[in-house]
Structure 1
Amino acid sequence: MIDSTIEGRIKVLRMNHGPANAMDLPFLTAVADACIPDNSFDGVVLTGNGRFFSAGLNIVNLMEGDDDNAWKIIETLGRAIMNIMTFPGPVVAAVDGHAVAGGCLLALSCDHRIGVPGDYKMGMNELALGLDLPSFALAAVRRCVPVHRQFEVTSLSRFYSPEEAIPVGMLNEISNDAEKEALKMSTSLADSLAPFQRLKKHLNAPALELYEKEGDSTDQFIQQWKTPESQAKIKAAVEKMKKS
Protein backbone atom coordinates (compact mmCIF):
# COMPACT_ATOMS: atom_id res chain seq x y z
CA MET A 1 0.00 0.00 0.00
CA ILE A 2 2.81 2.39 1.01
CA ASP A 3 6.46 1.39 0.90
CA SER A 4 8.26 3.35 3.60
CA THR A 5 12.03 3.61 3.97
CA ILE A 6 14.29 5.90 5.98
CA GLU A 7 17.13 7.59 4.08
CA GLY A 8 19.26 9.38 6.65
CA ARG A 9 16.71 11.52 8.50
CA ILE A 10 14.15 11.49 5.67
CA LYS A 11 11.18 9.15 5.39
CA VAL A 12 10.55 8.17 1.76
CA LEU A 13 6.94 7.17 1.12
CA ARG A 14 6.28 5.35 -2.16
CA MET A 15 2.54 5.01 -2.74
CA ASN A 16 1.84 1.59 -4.25
CA HIS A 17 -1.88 0.83 -3.98
CA GLY A 18 -3.20 -0.83 -7.10
CA PRO A 19 -2.42 0.45 -10.59
CA ALA A 20 -3.59 4.04 -9.96
CA ASN A 21 -3.06 4.66 -6.23
CA ALA A 22 -6.82 5.28 -6.05
CA MET A 23 -7.80 6.50 -2.60
CA ASP A 24 -9.89 4.29 -0.35
CA LEU A 25 -10.09 4.42 3.44
CA PRO A 26 -7.17 2.05 4.25
CA PHE A 27 -4.89 3.84 1.78
CA LEU A 28 -5.74 7.33 3.06
CA THR A 29 -5.35 6.18 6.66
CA ALA A 30 -1.88 4.84 5.81
CA VAL A 31 -0.87 8.15 4.19
CA ALA A 32 -2.21 10.22 7.09
CA ASP A 33 -0.54 8.04 9.72
CA ALA A 34 2.78 7.95 7.85
CA CYS A 35 2.99 11.75 8.09
CA ILE A 36 2.55 11.97 11.85
CA PRO A 37 5.87 13.35 13.15
CA ASP A 38 8.08 11.34 15.46
CA ASN A 39 11.74 11.33 16.44
CA SER A 40 12.84 8.86 13.75
CA PHE A 41 12.72 11.32 10.83
CA ASP A 42 12.85 15.05 10.11
CA GLY A 43 11.46 15.24 6.58
CA VAL A 44 9.37 13.36 4.04
CA VAL A 45 9.52 12.53 0.34
CA LEU A 46 6.19 11.45 -1.16
CA THR A 47 6.06 9.73 -4.55
CA GLY A 48 3.93 7.39 -6.63
CA ASN A 49 4.36 4.20 -8.62
CA GLY A 50 5.89 5.61 -11.82
CA ARG A 51 2.62 5.87 -13.75
CA PHE A 52 0.33 7.39 -11.16
CA PHE A 53 1.12 9.70 -8.29
CA SER A 54 -2.54 9.20 -7.40
CA ALA A 55 -5.74 9.14 -9.44
CA GLY A 56 -7.69 10.56 -6.51
CA LEU A 57 -10.65 9.03 -4.72
CA ASN A 58 -11.73 5.52 -5.64
CA ILE A 59 -15.12 6.64 -6.97
CA VAL A 60 -16.43 3.10 -7.48
CA ASN A 61 -15.61 2.23 -3.87
CA LEU A 62 -17.18 5.47 -2.69
CA MET A 63 -20.37 4.84 -4.69
CA GLU A 64 -20.77 1.34 -3.27
CA GLY A 65 -20.47 2.41 0.38
CA ASP A 66 -22.95 4.14 2.65
CA ASP A 67 -22.92 7.75 3.85
CA ASP A 68 -20.86 6.87 6.93
CA ASN A 69 -18.17 5.25 4.77
CA ALA A 70 -18.13 8.28 2.45
CA TRP A 71 -17.80 10.64 5.41
CA LYS A 72 -14.87 8.65 6.82
CA ILE A 73 -13.07 8.67 3.46
CA ILE A 74 -13.40 12.43 2.96
CA GLU A 75 -12.50 13.14 6.59
CA THR A 76 -9.39 10.96 6.29
CA LEU A 77 -8.35 12.66 3.04
CA GLY A 78 -8.57 15.94 4.93
CA ARG A 79 -6.52 14.52 7.78
CA ALA A 80 -3.83 13.33 5.35
CA ILE A 81 -3.63 16.74 3.69
CA MET A 82 -3.51 18.59 7.00
CA ASN A 83 -0.89 16.21 8.41
CA ILE A 84 1.33 16.94 5.41
CA MET A 85 0.72 20.70 5.45
CA THR A 86 1.42 20.99 9.18
CA PHE A 87 4.29 18.48 9.32
CA PRO A 88 7.06 20.40 11.12
CA GLY A 89 9.79 19.43 8.67
CA PRO A 90 10.10 19.57 4.87
CA VAL A 91 7.73 17.48 2.74
CA VAL A 92 8.75 17.26 -0.92
CA ALA A 93 6.66 15.51 -3.56
CA ALA A 94 8.23 13.62 -6.45
CA VAL A 95 5.31 13.63 -8.87
CA ASP A 96 6.01 10.70 -11.16
CA GLY A 97 2.65 10.29 -12.90
CA HIS A 98 -0.96 11.38 -13.08
CA ALA A 99 -2.13 13.44 -10.09
CA VAL A 100 -5.87 13.95 -10.38
CA ALA A 101 -8.44 15.51 -8.02
CA GLY A 102 -7.55 14.22 -4.53
CA GLY A 103 -4.18 13.07 -5.88
CA CYS A 104 -3.47 16.59 -7.09
CA LEU A 105 -4.48 17.95 -3.68
CA LEU A 106 -2.08 15.52 -2.02
CA ALA A 107 0.74 16.96 -4.13
CA LEU A 108 -0.35 20.55 -3.40
CA SER A 109 -0.21 19.87 0.32
CA CYS A 110 3.55 19.27 0.06
CA ASP A 111 6.05 22.11 0.51
CA HIS A 112 7.68 21.62 -2.90
CA ARG A 113 6.72 19.56 -5.93
CA ILE A 114 9.21 18.12 -8.40
CA GLY A 115 7.72 16.46 -11.47
CA VAL A 116 9.25 14.08 -13.96
CA PRO A 117 9.00 14.81 -17.69
CA GLY A 118 6.36 12.71 -19.39
CA ASP A 119 2.87 12.26 -20.75
CA TYR A 120 0.81 12.63 -17.59
CA LYS A 121 -1.64 15.18 -16.26
CA MET A 122 -2.35 17.10 -13.09
CA GLY A 123 -5.65 18.75 -12.31
CA MET A 124 -8.84 19.00 -10.29
CA ASN A 125 -12.23 18.03 -11.72
CA GLU A 126 -14.45 18.09 -8.64
CA LEU A 127 -16.66 20.90 -9.95
CA ALA A 128 -17.30 19.00 -13.19
CA LEU A 129 -18.77 16.23 -11.03
CA GLY A 130 -21.00 18.72 -9.25
CA LEU A 131 -18.99 18.54 -6.03
CA ASP A 132 -17.80 21.13 -3.55
CA LEU A 133 -14.15 21.56 -2.69
CA PRO A 134 -13.82 20.94 1.06
CA SER A 135 -12.11 23.60 3.14
CA PHE A 136 -8.96 21.46 3.49
CA ALA A 137 -8.73 21.33 -0.32
CA LEU A 138 -8.98 25.10 -0.60
CA ALA A 139 -6.23 25.45 2.00
CA ALA A 140 -3.89 23.35 -0.16
CA VAL A 141 -4.78 25.39 -3.25
CA ARG A 142 -4.34 28.76 -1.53
CA ARG A 143 -0.80 28.01 -0.40
CA CYS A 144 0.44 26.98 -3.88
CA VAL A 145 -1.64 28.37 -6.73
CA PRO A 146 -1.21 32.07 -7.63
CA VAL A 147 -4.31 34.06 -6.73
CA HIS A 148 -5.06 34.99 -10.34
CA ARG A 149 -5.04 31.28 -11.35
CA GLN A 150 -7.06 29.86 -8.45
CA PHE A 151 -10.45 30.22 -10.16
CA GLU A 152 -9.11 28.50 -13.28
CA VAL A 153 -7.55 25.61 -11.36
CA THR A 154 -10.53 24.93 -9.08
CA SER A 155 -13.45 25.71 -11.37
CA LEU A 156 -12.62 24.87 -14.98
CA SER A 157 -11.61 21.20 -14.50
CA ARG A 158 -8.54 21.62 -16.68
CA PHE A 159 -5.75 19.07 -16.76
CA TYR A 160 -2.17 20.26 -17.17
CA SER A 161 0.96 18.69 -18.60
CA PRO A 162 4.07 18.86 -16.37
CA GLU A 163 5.25 21.95 -18.23
CA GLU A 164 1.83 23.60 -17.97
CA ALA A 165 1.60 22.72 -14.27
CA ILE A 166 4.52 24.98 -13.30
CA PRO A 167 2.91 28.40 -14.01
CA VAL A 168 -0.24 27.42 -12.06
CA GLY A 169 1.78 26.27 -9.04
CA MET A 170 1.03 22.56 -9.23
CA LEU A 171 4.70 21.84 -9.87
CA ASN A 172 7.76 23.87 -8.95
CA GLU A 173 10.23 22.19 -11.28
CA ILE A 174 10.84 19.16 -13.51
CA SER A 175 13.69 16.67 -13.16
CA ASN A 176 14.59 13.40 -14.86
CA ASP A 177 15.15 11.93 -11.39
CA ALA A 178 12.50 13.63 -9.29
CA GLU A 179 12.77 11.26 -6.34
CA LYS A 180 16.54 11.76 -6.07
CA GLU A 181 16.14 15.54 -6.25
CA ALA A 182 13.28 15.47 -3.74
CA LEU A 183 15.41 13.50 -1.29
CA LYS A 184 18.32 15.89 -1.80
CA MET A 185 16.10 18.93 -1.19
CA SER A 186 14.36 17.47 1.85
CA THR A 187 17.72 16.51 3.36
CA SER A 188 19.15 19.97 2.76
CA LEU A 189 16.15 21.71 4.33
CA ALA A 190 16.17 19.33 7.29
CA ASP A 191 19.78 20.30 7.95
CA SER A 192 18.43 23.73 8.95
CA LEU A 193 15.40 22.30 10.69
CA ALA A 194 14.62 24.90 13.36
CA PRO A 195 14.64 27.95 11.05
CA PHE A 196 12.81 25.94 8.39
CA GLN A 197 10.09 25.04 10.87
CA ARG A 198 9.57 28.69 11.78
CA LEU A 199 9.54 29.74 8.12
CA LYS A 200 7.04 27.03 7.15
CA LYS A 201 4.75 27.99 10.01
CA HIS A 202 4.71 31.64 8.92
CA LEU A 203 4.25 30.87 5.21
CA ASN A 204 1.38 28.45 5.88
CA ALA A 205 -0.38 30.74 8.35
CA PRO A 206 -2.71 32.58 5.91
CA ALA A 207 -4.09 29.39 4.34
CA LEU A 208 -4.40 27.60 7.68
CA GLU A 209 -6.07 30.57 9.36
CA LEU A 210 -8.72 30.65 6.63
CA TYR A 211 -9.16 26.89 6.99
CA GLU A 212 -9.71 27.22 10.73
CA LYS A 213 -12.07 30.16 10.24
CA GLU A 214 -14.17 28.33 7.65
CA GLY A 215 -14.25 25.12 9.69
CA ASP A 216 -14.58 21.57 8.48
CA SER A 217 -16.84 21.20 5.44
CA THR A 218 -16.93 17.41 5.12
CA ASP A 219 -20.66 17.33 5.91
CA GLN A 220 -21.32 19.87 3.15
CA PHE A 221 -19.34 17.76 0.68
CA ILE A 222 -21.34 14.64 1.58
CA GLN A 223 -24.66 16.47 1.26
CA GLN A 224 -23.69 17.69 -2.21
CA TRP A 225 -22.40 14.21 -3.07
CA LYS A 226 -25.87 12.80 -2.37
CA THR A 227 -27.79 15.19 -4.65
CA PRO A 228 -29.37 13.63 -7.76
CA GLU A 229 -27.42 15.99 -10.02
CA SER A 230 -24.05 15.00 -8.55
CA GLN A 231 -24.93 11.31 -8.48
CA ALA A 232 -25.83 11.41 -12.18
CA LYS A 233 -22.53 13.06 -13.10
CA ILE A 234 -20.53 10.68 -10.91
CA LYS A 235 -22.27 7.59 -12.32
CA ALA A 236 -21.54 8.82 -15.85
CA ALA A 237 -17.88 9.25 -14.90
CA VAL A 238 -17.78 5.73 -13.42
CA GLU A 239 -19.28 4.24 -16.60
CA LYS A 240 -16.73 6.11 -18.68
CA MET A 241 -13.90 4.74 -16.50
CA LYS A 242 -15.21 1.18 -16.85
CA LYS A 243 -15.19 1.48 -20.65
CA SER A 244 -11.70 2.98 -20.86
Structure 2
Amino acid sequence: MITTETIDGAHIITLDDGKVNALNKEKLDALVAALSKCAGDLAPVAIRGRKGIFSAGFDLKGFGAGPEIATAQLQAGKDAILAILRHPAPVITVCEGHAYPMGAFLMLAADHAIGAEGEFVTGMNESAIGMALPIYPMILGAARLNAHGRKAVATSEMFNPTDAAKVGYFQNVVAPDAVDATLQATLKHMKGLNAGAFNANKTAMNAQLIADIEASPLPDFG
Protein backbone atom coordinates (compact mmCIF):
# COMPACT_ATOMS: atom_id res chain seq x y z
CA MET A 1 0.00 0.00 0.00
CA ILE A 2 2.86 2.39 0.83
CA THR A 3 5.93 2.36 -1.36
CA THR A 4 9.03 4.54 -1.23
CA GLU A 5 11.51 5.26 -4.00
CA THR A 6 14.39 7.68 -4.29
CA ILE A 7 14.60 9.61 -7.55
CA ASP A 8 17.12 12.33 -8.36
CA GLY A 9 17.86 13.18 -4.75
CA ALA A 10 14.28 13.13 -3.44
CA HIS A 11 12.12 10.51 -1.75
CA ILE A 12 8.69 9.71 -3.21
CA ILE A 13 6.22 8.00 -0.87
CA THR A 14 3.14 6.69 -2.66
CA LEU A 15 -0.12 5.77 -0.91
CA ASP A 16 -2.09 3.34 -3.04
CA ASP A 17 -4.22 0.52 -1.65
CA GLY A 18 -5.99 0.01 -4.97
CA LYS A 19 -9.19 1.41 -3.48
CA VAL A 20 -9.79 4.78 -1.79
CA ASN A 21 -6.80 4.96 0.58
CA ALA A 22 -8.89 4.77 3.74
CA LEU A 23 -6.34 5.27 6.49
CA ASN A 24 -6.26 2.87 9.41
CA LYS A 25 -3.61 2.41 12.11
CA GLU A 26 -1.52 0.04 10.02
CA LYS A 27 -1.34 2.36 7.02
CA LEU A 28 -0.65 5.44 9.13
CA ASP A 29 2.07 3.61 11.07
CA ALA A 30 3.60 2.58 7.74
CA LEU A 31 3.61 6.22 6.62
CA VAL A 32 5.39 7.27 9.81
CA ALA A 33 7.93 4.48 9.32
CA ALA A 34 8.53 5.53 5.71
CA LEU A 35 9.14 9.13 6.78
CA SER A 36 11.57 7.95 9.44
CA LYS A 37 13.55 5.96 6.87
CA CYS A 38 13.72 9.04 4.62
CA ALA A 39 15.01 11.36 7.33
CA GLY A 40 18.66 10.36 7.35
CA ASP A 41 19.89 12.16 4.23
CA LEU A 42 17.75 15.31 4.65
CA ALA A 43 16.43 14.96 1.10
CA PRO A 44 12.96 16.38 0.44
CA VAL A 45 10.00 14.01 0.54
CA ALA A 46 6.87 13.94 -1.61
CA ILE A 47 3.77 12.06 -0.47
CA ARG A 48 1.44 11.14 -3.33
CA GLY A 49 -1.95 9.44 -3.33
CA ARG A 50 -3.94 7.73 -6.07
CA LYS A 51 -5.14 9.63 -9.10
CA GLY A 52 -8.74 10.57 -8.38
CA ILE A 53 -8.42 10.28 -4.61
CA PHE A 54 -5.56 11.12 -2.29
CA SER A 55 -7.44 9.59 0.64
CA ALA A 56 -11.01 8.99 1.74
CA GLY A 57 -9.86 9.84 5.27
CA PHE A 58 -9.87 7.63 8.32
CA ASP A 59 -11.09 4.07 7.87
CA LEU A 60 -14.59 4.26 9.36
CA LYS A 61 -14.48 0.51 10.09
CA GLY A 62 -11.87 1.29 12.73
CA PHE A 63 -14.26 3.58 14.57
CA GLY A 64 -16.87 0.82 14.69
CA ALA A 65 -14.46 -1.84 15.93
CA GLY A 66 -14.48 -0.85 19.61
CA PRO A 67 -12.86 1.81 21.81
CA GLU A 68 -9.35 0.35 21.75
CA ILE A 69 -9.06 0.16 17.97
CA ALA A 70 -10.76 3.53 17.47
CA THR A 71 -8.39 5.21 19.91
CA ALA A 72 -5.35 3.57 18.33
CA GLN A 73 -6.44 4.75 14.87
CA LEU A 74 -6.81 8.34 16.05
CA GLN A 75 -3.44 8.17 17.80
CA ALA A 76 -1.87 6.90 14.58
CA GLY A 77 -3.32 9.89 12.73
CA LYS A 78 -1.90 12.21 15.35
CA ASP A 79 1.49 10.50 15.06
CA ALA A 80 1.48 10.92 11.26
CA ILE A 81 0.78 14.64 11.51
CA LEU A 82 3.50 15.08 14.11
CA ALA A 83 5.95 13.08 11.97
CA ILE A 84 5.42 15.50 9.08
CA LEU A 85 5.64 18.57 11.30
CA ARG A 86 8.88 17.27 12.86
CA HIS A 87 10.46 15.91 9.67
CA PRO A 88 13.86 17.58 9.24
CA ALA A 89 13.55 17.92 5.46
CA PRO A 90 10.78 19.47 3.35
CA VAL A 91 7.61 17.39 3.00
CA ILE A 92 5.42 17.99 -0.05
CA THR A 93 1.98 16.44 -0.50
CA VAL A 94 0.56 15.85 -3.98
CA CYS A 95 -3.22 15.56 -4.22
CA GLU A 96 -4.63 14.48 -7.60
CA GLY A 97 -8.17 13.88 -6.38
CA HIS A 98 -10.34 14.02 -3.27
CA ALA A 99 -8.83 14.58 0.18
CA TYR A 100 -11.30 13.80 2.94
CA PRO A 101 -10.45 14.60 6.55
CA MET A 102 -7.34 12.58 7.41
CA GLY A 103 -6.09 13.20 3.88
CA ALA A 104 -6.86 16.89 4.32
CA PHE A 105 -4.97 16.88 7.63
CA LEU A 106 -1.87 15.66 5.80
CA MET A 107 -2.19 18.59 3.35
CA LEU A 108 -2.25 21.01 6.28
CA ALA A 109 0.73 19.40 8.00
CA ALA A 110 2.96 19.43 4.89
CA ASP A 111 5.48 22.16 4.14
CA HIS A 112 3.99 22.51 0.66
CA ALA A 113 0.82 20.99 -0.80
CA ILE A 114 0.11 20.67 -4.53
CA GLY A 115 -3.42 20.08 -5.77
CA ALA A 116 -4.71 19.10 -9.20
CA GLU A 117 -7.63 20.77 -10.94
CA GLY A 118 -10.73 18.63 -11.36
CA GLU A 119 -14.10 17.69 -9.92
CA PHE A 120 -12.59 16.98 -6.52
CA VAL A 121 -13.22 18.14 -2.97
CA THR A 122 -11.00 18.70 0.04
CA GLY A 123 -11.97 19.46 3.61
CA MET A 124 -13.50 18.20 6.83
CA ASN A 125 -17.03 16.82 6.57
CA GLU A 126 -17.52 15.38 10.07
CA SER A 127 -20.58 17.48 10.91
CA ALA A 128 -22.30 16.10 7.81
CA ILE A 129 -21.58 12.47 8.71
CA GLY A 130 -22.37 12.76 12.41
CA MET A 131 -18.88 12.70 13.90
CA ALA A 132 -16.96 15.04 16.17
CA LEU A 133 -13.37 15.75 15.23
CA PRO A 134 -10.60 15.04 17.73
CA ILE A 135 -8.82 18.11 19.06
CA TYR A 136 -5.56 17.76 17.15
CA PRO A 137 -6.91 18.52 13.63
CA MET A 138 -8.76 21.48 15.12
CA ILE A 139 -5.42 22.81 16.36
CA LEU A 140 -3.81 22.13 12.99
CA GLY A 141 -6.69 23.78 11.12
CA ALA A 142 -6.63 26.83 13.37
CA ALA A 143 -2.93 27.27 12.58
CA ARG A 144 -3.04 26.65 8.83
CA LEU A 145 -6.50 27.67 7.54
CA ASN A 146 -7.84 31.17 7.01
CA ALA A 147 -11.10 32.39 8.59
CA HIS A 148 -13.29 30.87 5.87
CA GLY A 149 -11.52 27.54 6.17
CA ARG A 150 -11.81 27.53 9.96
CA LYS A 151 -15.56 28.22 9.85
CA ALA A 152 -15.98 25.41 7.31
CA VAL A 153 -14.74 22.85 9.84
CA ALA A 154 -18.05 23.14 11.72
CA THR A 155 -20.28 23.56 8.67
CA SER A 156 -18.71 20.69 6.66
CA GLU A 157 -18.18 22.90 3.62
CA MET A 158 -15.98 21.02 1.18
CA PHE A 159 -13.83 22.89 -1.30
CA ASN A 160 -12.98 22.41 -4.94
CA PRO A 161 -9.21 22.54 -5.58
CA THR A 162 -9.08 26.25 -6.38
CA ASP A 163 -11.07 27.22 -3.30
CA ALA A 164 -9.14 24.72 -1.18
CA ALA A 165 -6.00 26.66 -2.07
CA LYS A 166 -7.66 29.94 -1.14
CA VAL A 167 -8.51 28.73 2.37
CA GLY A 168 -5.14 27.11 3.01
CA TYR A 169 -5.18 23.42 2.10
CA PHE A 170 -2.92 23.84 -0.96
CA GLN A 171 -0.11 26.20 -1.86
CA ASN A 172 -0.79 25.82 -5.58
CA VAL A 173 -3.26 24.08 -7.88
CA VAL A 174 -2.34 23.10 -11.43
CA ALA A 175 -3.79 21.21 -14.40
CA PRO A 176 -3.54 17.41 -14.07
CA ASP A 177 -0.95 17.19 -16.85
CA ALA A 178 1.21 19.77 -15.05
CA VAL A 179 1.37 17.98 -11.69
CA ASP A 180 4.59 16.08 -12.35
CA ALA A 181 6.42 19.14 -13.68
CA THR A 182 5.17 21.22 -10.75
CA LEU A 183 6.35 18.60 -8.29
CA GLN A 184 9.77 18.46 -9.94
CA ALA A 185 10.08 22.25 -9.84
CA THR A 186 9.06 22.29 -6.19
CA LEU A 187 11.52 19.53 -5.32
CA LYS A 188 14.27 21.41 -7.18
CA HIS A 189 13.54 24.49 -5.09
CA MET A 190 13.53 22.48 -1.87
CA LYS A 191 16.82 20.75 -2.77
CA GLY A 192 18.38 24.18 -3.26
CA LEU A 193 17.67 25.22 0.33
CA ASN A 194 20.31 25.05 3.02
CA ALA A 195 19.30 21.89 4.88
CA GLY A 196 20.45 23.07 8.31
CA ALA A 197 18.76 26.44 8.00
CA PHE A 198 15.55 24.85 6.74
CA ASN A 199 15.43 22.43 9.66
CA ALA A 200 16.12 25.18 12.19
CA ASN A 201 13.45 27.47 10.75
CA LYS A 202 10.84 24.70 10.40
CA THR A 203 11.53 23.51 13.93
CA ALA A 204 11.12 27.00 15.36
CA MET A 205 8.00 27.75 13.31
CA ASN A 206 6.30 24.48 14.24
CA ALA A 207 7.41 24.26 17.89
CA GLN A 208 4.24 25.65 19.49
CA LEU A 209 1.97 23.82 17.05
CA ILE A 210 3.70 20.53 17.84
CA ALA A 211 3.49 21.17 21.59
CA ASP A 212 -0.22 21.99 21.36
CA ILE A 213 -0.97 18.87 19.30
CA GLU A 214 1.09 16.65 21.59
CA ALA A 215 -0.81 17.94 24.63
CA SER A 216 -4.26 17.52 23.08
CA PRO A 217 -6.37 14.64 24.43
CA LEU A 218 -8.01 12.00 22.30
CA PRO A 219 -11.76 11.38 22.57
CA ASP A 220 -12.91 8.97 25.27
CA PHE A 221 -14.57 6.17 23.32
CA GLY A 222 -15.33 4.33 26.54
SS where residue 167 of structure 1 aligns? helix
Shift of 1:132: 3.4
CA distance in 2, matches of 1:143, 1:13: 25
- Give 1:130 deviation, angstroms: 4.2
Matched, 1:152 2:151: yes
Matched, 1:59 2:84: no
Q: Shift in Å at residue 34 of structure 1? A: 1.2
For 1:79-120, what per-residue CA distance to the aligned partner results, in whole angstroms no more than 9, with x for missing partners?
011101111111111111100011111111111111111111
Query: What one-letter code is carried by the residue in structure 2 that aligns with 1:210?
Result: D
Q: Is the 8 A contact 1:53 1:103 kept in 2?
A: yes
- In 2 relative to 1, CA 153–51 (structure 1 residues): closer, same or farther, beyond 3 Å? same
* 2:204 partner amino acid: H
Aligned positions of 1:1-244 closer than 5 A: 1-36=1-36, 37-63=38-64, 65-146=65-146, 148-176=147-175, 177-192=178-193, 193-212=195-214, 215-218=215-218, 220=219, 222-223=220-221
CA distance 1:12–1:134, shift in 2 (3 Å): same
Aligned residues: 218
Cα 1:118–1:18, aligned 2, differ >3 Å: closer, same or farther?
Answer: same
Unaligned residue ranges in structure 1 (runs of 5+) = 227-244
CA RMSD in angstroms, aligned pairs only: 2.0
**What does residue 240 of structure 1 align with?**
none
> Could you tell me how far apart the structure 2 residues matched to 1:156 and 1:101 are?
13
Any conservation in 2 of the 1:9–1:41 contact (CA below 8 Å)?
no
CA distance in 1, matches of 2:208, 2:216: 16
- Residues 41, 204 of structure 1: alpha-carbon distance in 2 compared, 3 angstrom cutoff: closer
Residue aligned with 1:11, SS = strand
Q: What SS does the aligned partner of 1:106 have?
A: helix
CA 1:136/1:94 → structure 2, altered by over 3 Å: closer, same or farther? Answer: same
Q: What CA distance in whole angstroms lies between the structure 2 residues aligned with 1:45 and 1:94?
A: 7
| Deviation by residue 1:177-203 (Cα, 9 ceiling, x = unmatched) | 324422431342233212211221232
Once residues 143 and 10 of structure 2 are traced to their aligned partners in structure 1, the CA distance between those partners, rounded to angstroms, is 23
Q: 203-212 or 53-62: which moved more?
A: 203-212
TM-superposed CA distance for 1:20, in Å, is 0.7
Shift of 1:54: 0.4
Shift of 1:61: 4.1
What TM-score results when the alignment is normalised by the length of structure 1? 0.81
Relative distance call for 1:80 and 1:132 in structure 2 (3 A) is same
Q: Which protein shows a greater Rg?
A: 1
Deviation sequence 1:125-150 (CA, Å, 0-9, x none): 1233443333331332133212x235
Aligned pair in 2 of structure 1 residues 120, 78: CA closer, same or farther (>3 Å)? same
Return closer, same or farther for 1:172/1:105 CA change in 2, 3 Å cut-off: same
Q: State the 1:40 CA deviation.
A: 4.1
Please say if residues 104 and 123 of structure 1, whose CA atoms lie closer than 8 Å, have aligned partners that are also in contact: yes
Give TM-score scaled by structure 2 length.
0.89
C-alpha deviations, 1:49-89, integer Å up to 9, x for none?
Answer: 101100101113431x2211111111111101110111111
